[in-house]
Amino acid sequence: MIRFSLICEHDHEFEGWFRSNDDFDTQKKRGFVDCPNCGSHRIEKALMAPAVSTGRKQEKIALAMGEAQKWALAQLKAMAEKVRENADYVGDKFAEEARKIHFGESDPRGIYGEATLEEAKSLAEDGVEFMPIPSFPEDRN
């Protein structure tokens, strides 16, 4: 994949990813490339500096990755907390309760609990929708 810096007739700058230079040219000719700001199809490649990896650039990338990881972790923690606040804890009876809700034997409600890997596989095979929620060390206090 190649990343191109692009610019529209109204000087809006943006980036696009393409399989090749020919892929960009083909998509542009067919009207598939447009400006995300104004919708213009009059797009050209902008001047780009070559991507040269330097120690400083690698440090910036590492910092950005660290910030992205912190953000993702915060989102996961918030999601897990929301589930715990708004759903019923059913402990090791999760698979049994989830199956009852799925097959209409219990009233629909949000639940969370524990399941073995085999129980989770069996739920998935039965078409029961569920997802694991992360557990964090501070949750175990």
pTM (predicted TM-score): 0.51
CA distance 38 to 6: 13
68 and 37 within one domain: no
* Domain membership of residue 27 as a residue range: 2-45
Q: Three-state DSSP class for 89?
A: strand
CA distance 132 to 91: 14
70 and 103 within one domain: yes
Q: Which of 127, 105, 139, 138 is nearest to 114 (CA)?
A: 139
CA distance 102 to 92: 17
**Residue 39 counted as domain residue:** yes
CA distance 35 to 27: 13
Say yes or no to pLDDT of 139 above 80. Answer: no
85 and 21 within one domain: no
Say yes or no to pLDDT of 70 above 90. Answer: no
Our count of domains for the chain comes to: 2
**Residue 9 counted as domain residue:** yes
- Tokens representing residue 134 in the block: 């992360």
Residue with tokens 């997802």: 131
Say yes or no to pLDDT of 141 above 60. Answer: no
The pLDDT of 42-62, averaged and rounded, is: 75
94 and 122 within one domain: yes
